[in-house]
Structures are given as structure tokens and as C-alpha cells.
Structure 1
Amino acid sequence: MGLLILEPTKREGDDHVPGTAFIGAGGAADCVTTVTGELDPNLKYDLTGDVPIVLVPQPSDDPNDPLNWPLWERDLITFILCLVSVSLLLAQTRPYPCAKHCTVLLIVSSAWGGLASSYKSFLWARILQGVAVCPFETLVNITVGEMYCVHQLGKRMALANFSLFGGAFLTPVIVGKITGELGWQWPFFLVAIITGVMLPLVVFWVPETTYNRPAHSTLSNQAPRQYTSTVPRHSFLQRMYLFNGRKTSESPLKLFLRPIVLLLHPAVMWGMLTQGVMIGWTVMIGVVLAAVFIFPPLSFTEVETGYMYTGAFIGSLAGLAITGPLADWSAKYLSRMNKGIYEPEFRLYLVIPQAVTGCLGLYMFGVTSSNTTKYGWFWPDFFFALELMGMTMGAVTSALYLVDAYPGIAIESFTCLLLFKNFFSFGLTWEAFNWLREAGTKELFIYVASVQVAICSLTLPMYFFGKITRDFMHRHDILKMVGLGIEETGGGPGQEGPGIVMGEAGRR
């Protein structure tokens, strides 16, 4: 039992739990090296720091494996995806392109929305825009997760989630001003223009990152598996193909149904609550801003109300600044304390700052916004910023944990998170005004904050029993039980988990 994480029942012959991996990180140095004190030639390491870190997952010997691409290239891809995400937030919703094809579709739908001369035409433009953008919110996290090893992932995942969620709160500040000065059509025109400028970057510098990594051994007593790839890296033009084949032979219907079943997965349910509920509370805050701040004593205009989201954006930026470095540092530090063994549950420590900032922000926003005569606009905005800090931390935590603990169902897991977040936010929008009228601002947010405290407390059993859950779900695959399992091809979407690959000698 490492750091209070409960161990599953030992089984003879196969006692490895997917997700558990030895990375070293300064712990149990004799396990990182051979008996002669040298680095194990069967493993690949990150040697850029003071202490060798075993790469998890282990890259293959194929130069087309994203884990083998130069770090600057992977960071450039991440930066482009994040830049496109932030740039597209001007559309008063969250329009994200999911790929090269969807980027083009988004340009067309956004231009159509700005030119629409009737409600019916505008509605169809928005529907088409939704088709173009929704997958991007899931695929950004997946893409980032596929390009980095465990000890490199934290700050990149934090940046991705800040771009997807935190940047959205800069939207009202910009859109309100643009709409007031130029008209409601111009936010859509600007989305089309900015997306058009970003399109060449997506086309030429964002290749396919899905990779079927060869099967690997793990921390058990299996003998090392040797494999060698003689395939050269694809040319620049090959990497930029608009379509380079399907990565699975399974039917689209089966892939469509898989996320529905995973709604009952314990870790996915925890992720949906940890990320989606906190995002939903921002909808409640938006309702208060619209229903309270435009009336006396503040009497804000729509543009001034939009400026209140500046605090939210600053809060999400602060959440990024804290969570990114903390995620990678804590993973290595806790692994060192655990004799070099990394457990995905180490990511869950990030819920502690989320609970402190997010719950405090919710409680105090309700108190201060219920008496703007006494507290004015600053203190509600300040606690709105704290809530956004917690939201960013929750989004990063859930994304990191699901990628590390259940990489084989990462795409389906993020789809579940997206569905829950959208439906929950829609439900809050539908009922928020009624709740606000019946309960009042202060009482409503006391209830809301208390619910959030309860949700954060669910992380305790997830931490203590997370490894047991991983072991159970590995041995009792609910997707296979209902006939929705897919053929495992090694890494990528079908990989077992971030164990140690025993390949030929190689160091990075």
C-alpha cells in the first residue's frame, strides 16, 4: 500500500494493475539501473534533468510514434491547438474545430451565421457550427495525452484545458464590446476570419497523433520484449494528409455506443462530476450577473456586465499558473516518495486546491453578490475569479487522471465528460432564474457550494480505492461484457495502460 492507496488482491501470474508504472524520479535508484550501476539498456529515459526518469509509456522504436517526435514539435502542435481554441471563443458559444475538415466547416457555418437574415437560417447555421466544433473539445485533450509521457503531461494538459474552458470567460468581455460597437453579426464574421487565418497552421502543422504502439510488458516479471522498427518517418506531405486511414476496424455504431455504457464507469462518473458540475456553476454565476447587476444599485449596462468576466478569466489564468507546474512536480515528488512507482491517483491531490478555491469562491460569491450595496462589484468579481481557479484545476485533474489511469477508453471518457457538462449546464440554464427567484442569491449559492464540497469529497474514496477499481475494471471490462469491446492493437486507443515497454536500448 503506497501512500494510503489500497492494493488489490494479489493474483498469481498477473498482479500488475494498468496505470501503475515505475518512473524512478529519484526513488529507488537501484531499480532504475542495472546491477553494474548503469542505466538499463532495455529502457528509455528522460535524461534532461538531474535524475533519470523512465519514460512512461515507453516509446516504440518507430520514428512515427508521437512519443519519438522532437519535444519542440509536440509543443508546437499543442500550442497551435490551444491558440485555435482561444481564438475561436469569440462566437458567444464555444466553437472549436475538431480537425482540418471541421475547421473548414466552422469557417462556413460562422460566415453563414453572420449573414443569416432569418431565424430559421440562423438556427441551421448554429446547428452546423455545433457539428463542426463539439468534437474538438474532446480531441484536444486526447491529442495532448498521446504526445507526452506521464512526467511531461501536467503542464501541457493544464494549458489545453485553460484554452478550452478558461479562455471562454474572456468571450463576454470581447463579444459584448464588439456587439455594441459593430453589431451582433461581427462576432461570427471574426470567428470565420480568425479560423481562416488559423487553418494553414492546422493543415500544415497538426498531423495525426493516434498511434498503435506495439504491445508491451509492464512491472510484472515478464521477460523484456525486443522489437525493432525499420520504417522511416513519414515525409512532411504524408504527415499532412487530410485522411490517413482508420485506426480501428470496428463499426462506427459500436464506437458511437461505447461512451453511453461508460457513463456507469466509476472513474468516468467521478470525472464528470469533478469537471462538469464546477463548470455548470459558472452558468449560475452568469445568471446572477444578468439578473442582479443590471438593476440598482449597480445598474450595469450589458457591456459593463460583460466586463465582470475579466475576473473570471484572470482566475482561470491563475489556475493554469498553479496547476500546470504543480501537476508535473507532484507526480514526480509522490513517485519518489513511493519508491519510484507512479500511481495515477497521485493526480488527485490537485483536488485539494480546487476544493479550497472553488468552494470558497462559490460561498463568498453568494454572500457578496446578494448585497452589492455593501460589497460593490469588486468582491463578487474576486470570488468569481476564485471559482474559476477551482474550475480550471478540476478540469485539469479529471483529464490527467482519466488519461493516466484509463488510456484505452480516454476518447470515450472525454465524450462522457462533454455530454454531462453540456446537459448539466443546459439544465441549470433552464431552472436558474426560478431557483434564484425562490431562494435568493445568498441561500442559493450556499446550497450550490455545499453540493460542490460533497463532490470534492468523493475524491477521497477515488484515491483510496482507485487502484482496486482499476484492477477490477481491467479484469471485468464492462464494454466487452455488453459486446462493445474493440480489438486491442497495442498503444493508442487500445493500449492497456502506461506500463513499462521493454524495447531496444534507447535513451532520450
Structure 2
Amino acid sequence: MGFLGILEDTKLPHVPASVILNEQIAHSETVTSHLKRGKGKDEHIVLVPQPSDDPNDPLNWSPLKKLRALVIVCFGTCLYAATFSPLLNTGLVVLAVEFNRPIGDITLISGYMLLVAGATAPLVSACSRKWGKRPVFLGSALFGIVGSIVGSVSSSYETLLAARIIQGLSVAAYESLVVSMVGDLYCVHERGSYMSAVQFLLASAGNFSPTICGPITENLGWRYLFHLCILFTGLQFILLFLFVPETQFRRDHRLDIDELASDNLEELAEIEKRHASHIESQEIHKLGTTTGVFSSNGPGQEKTFLQELAVFTGKYCDDNFLQLVIAPFAVCTNLFVLWVVVISGYVVATYVAQAYVLAQIFTSPPYSLSAAGVGYLFLGPFTGGLIGLLVFGTIANPTAKWCSAKNGGIYEPEFRLLPTIGGLAAGAGLMGFGVLCQQQASYYATAVLHGITIFGIVAVAIGTAGYALDAFRDMSSEIFVSAIIFKNFLFYGFSYFVNSWTATRGPAYVFFVFGGVTLGLVATTPLVYVYGKKYRSFWARHNVMRIMHIKTHSEL
């Protein structure tokens, strides 16, 4: 039995995603001594996956280049994934009055935007797998700019709806691909803090934008929101084009030691040793073609700045495009992937449900808050999310290393699930929020409960995303795209009924339902943790996607 009750597997010599992380504790120095390892205090950490010898491999980029690329894409995530969705939430009542429409119709404007985001997610996944992430990011940013321009000149409900639909075309890439981009740039022992930051942006950063959008809507008018979006999306597009090269890379699969059912570390170490000794070039070529250790393109020259500006850099997958479109749905045949999709999508959807009803509750008596006042209420959930980031982001990597040390130096992806238990706070927060709103308690108190909810949501998002990326990295893009589809379709569904449901049954009833379902889903986490390794072995032996002839990265 592994650390904290993880059940061991007896069917495979090596279960995919279980890797030697600490070679000193695992006493594997004789096997792993010639594999690439970390530097400084991490010099005893085996790099997973192993970087190739190509200087263009993103794993070989300098720390500054990696961070610069990720920060620029995360800036896009703040805009397209975290700001576009709640852009009009504080002004729902203002828009309803201006267009003489029920508040439910105004909510549907954002609902349709999220529906488009979910519907286009499979195409985003397929295009990124086929041609890389860079052209998809750039194309999505262009849609964001165009949608913002249309929104800034809107004078009718229909034009504003069209603007939001166009903006919806920009969302999916920055919600899903940014997560798998972390796997492109960083090894297992480095990912925790970066994953935490990304999940904070996706699950909580959207709570800060209403604090700005509310006062702008009240003092300058809602069209100025779109004026500012044009400015910032234009800036992000320029930075993206100049400083974010393609992060997709066709690395020889032998180096992906976290995805293999047979690690063959002795053979890999021996070849790395020979390569490090600078053997004759013909022998290097022979080993590279017979064993598949080096990059498929060979260790070429590092690309120049101008070469990295290319939008299209070739094909990264030979699969049929239709198969790639189907892949985000096919990955859900993996039951533990389906669990990740449902729990992560649902808990974030509950936060959006809260955002939908906030203006409805707090612009009415006895609160009678303005659009700016409603916006300031989002400081509570933003603070809760920020605390969640600081807590779980700080402990993510040290916890993984500590658990690996306690597990004999072996890293198991299930260790990433430990923060998910914090999701209990989300269920309790939702229930408490509903009760306080029903009792018309102080809005300071409701903001605190809203913050506790987001703290728990961030815990679930960080835990499940880290687990999915490390346990099933070969199909991580499809997993996160599936989560986006599920989540955005829930958003769209909520936009149809959550306002009227809250008005007829009261917020206490509505959020007790949301909170109860959240607690039930979080309670299933120990089952995934304990049986995770056994199921990874089962999936490696009975991969439904292989049966359906839908290839994943591990089969390239």
C-alpha cells in the first residue's frame, strides 16, 4: 500500500504517471544517474518528462522565457476567461431598464457567450493538437478584439448579443490550453505553483473585474467596458505575437517517462550516458533512430527571434481532424477523467450562479445597492480566492515532494488531490451564503461567506487540475477542454432559470441545493485517491480511445 492508503497495482511492471522523483530516497542512483535532473536544491530530482537535446524544446527554454510566455497567456486568461464572462454582471439591472427587457433576458446575453465558448471548445482542442497552440491563441485574441469593438458601438439588445457571441469565440482557448501549456513548459516537480496560479485566474480572478466594472458602468456607462476591453485585448495580442513562441513540441515519446507502461530507465540512462560522452555522429544518428531517444527533429539550431514569430510551425499530430474533434468527448470514457470534468466544472459553475443573482438580490430593498456597490461585493470572493492561491500555491510543490519522500521516493499523481478536501468549504459557504441572503443579513457577512465559497472552489480546481495533468498528461488538453464544455453548458443552463428560481424559492433553498451537491462530489475524492493507481493501470491495459482508434500523444 502506498502513502496515505493508495492501493498498489500488480498488473503492470510500471504504472503510467508513477515515477521516481527523489532518486536518493528511492535508491535508484545506479539506474537514474545519467538521466537529466534538476539544479541546485533539486539536483536529486529526476526531471519528468526528460527534456530532449533540442534547444527548441520548451522544457529547455530559460526560466525567464518560460515565465514570460506563461504570464502573457495568463494575461489573456484574465481578459478572455476571467473578465469577459462577468463583464456585465454588475449592470444587469441597468441594461434591463435601458433595453426594456426582463433581467433574465440580460442574463442570457452572457449565457449565449458561454454557450459559444463551450460549443467551440472541441474545435479549439483539435486545432491546437493539429497545428499547435500559438495560432489558436492568436486567432482567439482576434475574436476578442472584434467582439469588443462591436460591443463598444452597440445600441440595441441584438447588437450587444452579437458582440457577446463574438467574444465567446475567444474564451475556450484561454480557459483550456493555458492549463496544458504548463505541462509543455515545466516538469512535474515544478508545476504545482504555476497550476495554482492558473486555476486561481480561472476560478477566482473573475471576481475582481466586477469591482472595476461596477463603478465604470455607474459613472461612465456600460459601453466604456468594451472601450477598455479593446485597449487591453489589443495590447495582449501584440505581446502574444512577439513573445510567445509555439510551446507544442514533438518530443520523442521515450522521454515521456511519466506516460509509459514500461519505463525502461536503464536503457534510457545508458543512451543518455553515451550521448553525453559525444560519441561519433553516425552512432548518435543510429541510436536516435533505433531507440527513439532524441527529438524527432534532432538537436537542431536554436530558432532566432524572427523564426519564432511564425504563426504556423508545422503539424504536431497526424490524426484525422474529426477524430481530434471527438477526442474531448472520448476521454470521458475514462471514469476518473469524467470525475475530474464533473467536479471541477460543477464547483466553478456554482460560483457563476452566485454572480448571476448578486445584482438581483442586492439592488433590491433592503440593500438597494448601485451597480458600483454590487461590484464592490466581489471583493469578498476575490479575497477568498487569493487566500486559496497563497495557501495551496505555496504548499503544492513541497507537498508533492514530501509525499514522494514518504512514499519511498516514488511520485504518485494522486498526491495532487490532497487540497481537494478544502472543497468542503465551498459547500458550507454556498449554504451559508443562501441563508444570510434569505435573512437579509449584512452584506459584509454575505461577502465573507462568498469568499469562503471561492476559497473552497480554488482548492478543488487546483487539486483536480494538478491530478489530471500529472495522471493523464497524454490527453490533458482534451480533459481541460471537456471541463470547459461541461462548465460552460452549465453556465448557459443556469442563465435560463437561476434568477427566476431564486425569485420564487428564495436564495436559501437554491444555495442549499448547490452546496449539498458540492459536498457530495467532494466526498468522493478519497475513492479516487485510494483507487487512482489501480485505475491508471486498468486504463493503460483497456484504453477505450485506443479501441476507438483515437490516438493520444503516448501513441505518436
- Same fold, judged at TM 0.5 (above): yes
Conserved in 1, the CA contact under 8 Å of 2:37 and 2:43?
no
**C-alpha separation in 1, matches of 2:449 and 2:533:** 35
**C-alpha separation in 1, matches of 2:331 and 2:550:** 11
**C-alpha separation in 2, matches of 1:133 and 1:305:** 25
Structure 1 pair 230/458, CA: closer, same or farther in 2 (3 Å)?
same
2:477 alignment partner in structure 1: 411
The amino acid across from 2:168 in the alignment is G
Deviations 1:307-346 (A, max 9, x none): 1111111111111111111111111010000010000000
1:495 alignment partner in structure 2: 554
**C-alpha separation in 2, matches of 1:476 and 1:344:** 20
Structure 2's unaligned 5+ residue stretches are 88-112, 118-134, 272-292
1:111 alignment partner in structure 2: 149
1:2 alignment partner in structure 2: 2
RMSD of aligned C-alpha atoms? 2.3
1:300 paired residue among 369, 372, 376? 369
1:224 alignment partner in structure 2: 267
**C-alpha separation in 2, matches of 1:414 and 1:275:** 10
The offset of 1:19, in angstroms, is 0.6
2:359 alignment partner in structure 1: 290
The offset of 1:289, in angstroms, is 2.1
The amino acid across from 1:9 in the alignment is T
The amino acid across from 1:2 in the alignment is G
1:234 paired residue among 299, 303, 321? 303
Conserved in 2, the CA contact under 8 Å of 1:42 and 1:224?
no
1:447 alignment partner in structure 2: 513
| Identical-pair percentage | 33
Conserved in 2, the CA contact under 8 Å of 1:98 and 1:137?
no
**C-alpha separation in 1, matches of 2:24 and 2:494:** 47
2:121 alignment partner in structure 1: none
**C-alpha separation in 1, matches of 2:263 and 2:8:** 15
**Alignment partner of 1:85 is 2:83:** no
Conserved in 2, the CA contact under 8 Å of 1:19 and 1:405?
yes
**Alignment partner of 1:382 is 2:374:** no
Query: Any residues of structure 2 matched to 1:44-55 within 5 Å, and which?
Result: 44-49=36-41, 52-55=44-47
Conserved in 2, the CA contact under 8 Å of 1:25 and 1:335?
no
Whichever structure has more helix as a proportion of its residues is 2
Conserved in 1, the CA contact under 8 Å of 2:59 and 2:185?
yes
Conserved in 2, the CA contact under 8 Å of 1:268 and 1:416?
no
Conserved in 2, the CA contact under 8 Å of 1:78 and 1:160?
no
**Alignment partner of 1:342 is 2:385:** no
- Normalising by structure 2, we get a TM-score of 0.81
How many residues of Structure 1 are paired with residues of Structure 2 in the alignment?
478
The amino acid across from 1:261 in the alignment is A
**C-alpha separation in 2, matches of 1:214 and 1:271:** 28
The offset of 1:92, in angstroms, is 4.8
1:192 paired residue among 201, 225, 230? 230
**C-alpha separation in 2, matches of 1:149 and 1:386:** 32
2:18 alignment partner in structure 1: 20
2:54 paired residue among 56, 62, 67? 62
The offset of 1:426, in angstroms, is 2.0
Conserved in 2, the CA contact under 8 Å of 1:407 and 1:496?
no
2:401 alignment partner in structure 1: 332
**C-alpha separation in 2, matches of 1:194 and 1:41:** 48
The amino acid across from 1:418 in the alignment is I
**C-alpha separation in 1, matches of 2:349 and 2:244:** 31
Conserved in 2, the CA contact under 8 Å of 1:25 and 1:336?
no
Deviations 1:174-214 (A, max 9, x none): 11211222222111121111111222211111111111211
Conserved in 2, the CA contact under 8 Å of 1:111 and 1:189?
yes
Query: Any residues of structure 2 matched to 1:140-151 within 5 Å, and which?
Result: 140-151=178-189
Structure 1 pair 104/327, CA: closer, same or farther in 2 (3 Å)?
same
1:505 alignment partner in structure 2: none
The amino acid across from 1:300 in the alignment is L
Conserved in 1, the CA contact under 8 Å of 2:423 and 2:519?
no
The amino acid across from 1:195 in the alignment is T
Q: 389-398 or 283-292, which moves further after superposition?
A: 283-292
**C-alpha separation in 2, matches of 1:128 and 1:404:** 34
The offset of 1:26, in angstroms, is 5.7
**C-alpha separation in 2, matches of 1:350 and 1:475:** 29
The amino acid across from 1:193 in the alignment is L
Structure 1 pair 34/263, CA: closer, same or farther in 2 (3 Å)?
closer
SS of the residue corresponding to residue 45 of structure 1 reads: coil
The offset of 1:388, in angstroms, is 0.7
**C-alpha separation in 1, matches of 2:136 and 2:178:** 8
The amino acid across from 1:34 in the alignment is T
1:135 alignment partner in structure 2: 173
The offset of 1:10, in angstroms, is 2.7
1:161 paired residue among 186, 189, 199? 199
**Alignment partner of 1:358 is 2:426:** yes
2:488 alignment partner in structure 1: 422
**C-alpha separation in 2, matches of 1:153 and 1:109:** 33
**Alignment partner of 1:468 is 2:534:** yes
The offset of 1:282, in angstroms, is 1.4
- Normalising by structure 1, we get a TM-score of 0.88
The offset of 1:45, in angstroms, is 1.0
The offset of 1:444, in angstroms, is 2.9
Deviations 1:438-457 (A, max 9, x none): 44322332232221111001
